């Protein structure tokens, strides 16, 4: 692991690192914020998965999460959204290829050698974080748009690894949306039965979630029809799944929306992660 930069931030430290990834086969970059409380002992972790075209940097600089994380004593992890570089498959469209990994494990050429973002975030990067930073094994996950899709699918498939989950304007039903069908067919092939494990509406209906879920969605989001929050709301109602889906009047899909409600989401995760950590006598 190589440290690219370190900056003091709300009493803690914002770090950007890179490493050679065995999972993705290229050098990957990620960012970690350690709050001031980490000087006194390990802290819980909140993962933030970014959306289409983003890198590790977008939420780190625009999301406004660090101040809230410092208040609660949470570490933040900002992974990149895809492998990058010469020799990595790409597409001219902004919603496929580099910057658009969709948090899946690709099984088709030319994507398969590098586009293994599901395993990268869930296993390799998680191991790097827990092995190199003062954190306890209590993890929450959130994300925006494509990253909200990633956060929900990873948590719903791995309730043993995540203790809390939320999302900002997630792609909630990608198997039935143009933001999903295009990418899932490219990365996974035409057999739609292989897509369902990356669709949070399907996963929630099949498996539920052990706790409650927080979703914020801008009511004036220009991509609302592609995101399909109504599918997730229908499943939550059908299963009587505890949680909130909040339609926020006047808000769009931008980081102005994300930063407005970042504090609510950090509060949400902090309450659940600290409760879990306290129950284990870790904090």
Structure token pair of residue 276: 């879990």
For residue 221, indicate whether it is catalytic. yes
For residues 30 and 56, is the Cβ–Cβ distance under 8 A?
A: yes
Question: Which entry of 144, 163, 221, 269 is annotated as an active-site residue?
Answer: 221
For residue 190, indicate whether it is catalytic. no
For residues 46 and 77, is the Cβ–Cβ distance under 8 A?
A: yes
Q: How far apart are CA 66 and CA 232, in angstroms?
A: 29
Question: Which entry of 72, 149, 253, 269 is annotated as an active-site residue?
Answer: 253
Q: How far apart are CA 25 and CA 83, in angstroms?
A: 8
Edge-to-edge strands, sheet with 43-49: 2-9, 12-20, 27-34, 75-79, 43-49, 135-143, 164-168, 213-218, 243-248
For residues 38 and 134, is the Cβ–Cβ distance under 8 A?
A: yes
Helices first, then strands: H and E counts in the chain = 10, 9
Q: How far apart are CA 254 and CA 262, in angstroms?
A: 13
For residues 172 and 152, is the Cβ–Cβ distance under 8 A?
A: yes
Closest listed residue to residue 104, CA positions, set 30, 166, 189, 177: 189
Q: How far apart are CA 253 and CA 23, in angstroms?
A: 31
For residues 173 and 149, is the Cβ–Cβ distance under 8 A?
A: no
For residues 153 and 174, is the Cβ–Cβ distance under 8 A?
A: no
Question: Which entry of 145, 164, 177, 200 is annotated as an active-site residue?
Answer: 145
Phi, psi of 266 (to 5 degrees): -65, -40
| Location of structure tokens 């929050």 | 229
Catalytic site positions = 145, 221, 253
């Amino acid at each position: 692991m190589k440290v690219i930069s370190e900056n003091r931030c709300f009493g803690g430290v914002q770090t950007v690192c890179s490493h050679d990834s065995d999972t993705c086969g290229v050098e990957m970059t990620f960012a970690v914020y350690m709050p001031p409380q980490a000087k006194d002992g390990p802290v819980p972790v909140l993962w933030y998965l970014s959306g289409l075209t983003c890198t590790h940097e977008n939420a780190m600089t625009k999301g406004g999460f660090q101040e809230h994380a410092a208040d609660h004593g949470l570490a933040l992890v900002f992974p990149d959204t895809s492998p990058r570089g010469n020799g990595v498959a790409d597409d001219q469209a902004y919603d496929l290829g580099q910057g658009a990994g969709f948090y899946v494990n690709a099984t088709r050429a030319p994507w398969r050698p590098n586009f293994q973002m599901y395993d990268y975030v869930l296993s390799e990067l998680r191991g790097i974080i827990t092995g190199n930073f003062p954190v306890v094994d209590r993890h929450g996950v959130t994300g925006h748009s494509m990253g909200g899709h990633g956060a929900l699918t990873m948590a719903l498939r791995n309730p043993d690894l995540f203790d809390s989950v939320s999302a900002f304007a997630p792609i909630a039903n990608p198997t039935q949306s143009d933001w999903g069908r295009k990418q899932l067919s490219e990365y996974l092939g035409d057999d739609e039965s292989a897509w369902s494990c990356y669709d949070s509406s399907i996963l929630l209906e099949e498996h539920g979630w052990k706790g409650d879920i927080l979703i914020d969605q801008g009511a004036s989001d220009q991509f609302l029809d592609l995101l399909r929050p109504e599918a997730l709301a229908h499943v939550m109602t059908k299963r009587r799944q505890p949680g909130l889906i909040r339609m926020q009047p006047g808000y769009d899909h931008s980081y102005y929306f994300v930063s407005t409600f970042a504090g609510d989401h950090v509060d949400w995760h902090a309450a659940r992660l600290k409760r879990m950590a306290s129950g284990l006598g870790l904090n």
